[in-house]
Amino acid sequence: MTAPPVVSIQQVSKRFKGFTAVDGVDLDVRDGEIFALLGPNGAGKTTLISIVAGLLRATAGTVTVLGKDVVRDYRFTRRAIGLVPQELNFDPFLTVEETLRFQAGYFGLRLADARLEEILTALDLASKRGENTRALSGGMKRRLLIGKALVHEPKVLFLDEPTAGVDVELRRSLWAYVRTLRARGTTVVLTTHYLEEAEELADRVGVI
Ligand code: ADP
Ligand code: MG
Which tens digits make up the pLDDT trace of 101-128? Answer: 999 999 899 999 999 999 999 899 999 9
- Does residue 149 contact residue 82 with C-beta atoms inside 8 Å? yes
Three-class secondary structure of residue 104 per DSSP: helix
Q: Which of 47, 52, 159 to mutate to test the pocket of ligand 1 (most atoms within 8 A of CB)?
A: 47
The DSSP result for 123-146, as a single string, is: TT-GGGTTSBGGGS-HHHHHHHHH
- Give this prediction's pTM: 0.94
Average pLDDT over residues 162-169: 84
Cross-strand pairs, 188? 34, 157
Decide whether any atom of ligand 1 lies within 6 Å of the 166 Cβ.
Answer: no
Contacts of 63 (CB under 8 A, 6+ apart): 7, 8, 9, 10, 12, 51, 52, 69, 70, 71
Helix residue spans in the chain (DSSP H): 45-52, 74-80, 96-106, 113-122, 138-150, 168-183, 195-201
- Per the prediction, the chain carries an average pLDDT of 93
Task: Report whether pLDDT(47) > 70.
Answer: yes
Average pLDDT score over residue span 38-63: 96
- Establish whether residue 41 lines the binding site of ligand 1, counting it when its CB lies within 6 angstroms of any ligand atom: yes
Residue 40 has pLDDT above 70, yes or no: yes
Atom number, ligand 1, closest to the C-alpha of residue 44: 6
Q: Is a pLDDT exceeding 80 seen at residue 1? A: no
Ligand 1 pocket check for 57: Cβ under 6 Å: no
Ramachandran assignment for 61, one of left (phi > 0), alpha (psi -120 to 50 degrees), beta (any other): left
**Would you say residue 2 has pLDDT above 90?**
no
pLDDT at 169: 86
Check if 205 has its Cβ closer than 6 Å to any atom of ligand 1: no
Q: Supply the DSSP symbol for 112.
A: P
Q: What is the reported pLDDT for 92?
A: 83
Distance between CA atoms of residues 45 and 191, nearest Å: 6
**Whole-angstrom distance, CA of residue 157 vs CA of residue 189:** 6
42 pocket-lining for ligand 1 (C-beta < 6 Å): yes
Q: Which residue has the higher pLDDT, 125 or 92?
A: 125
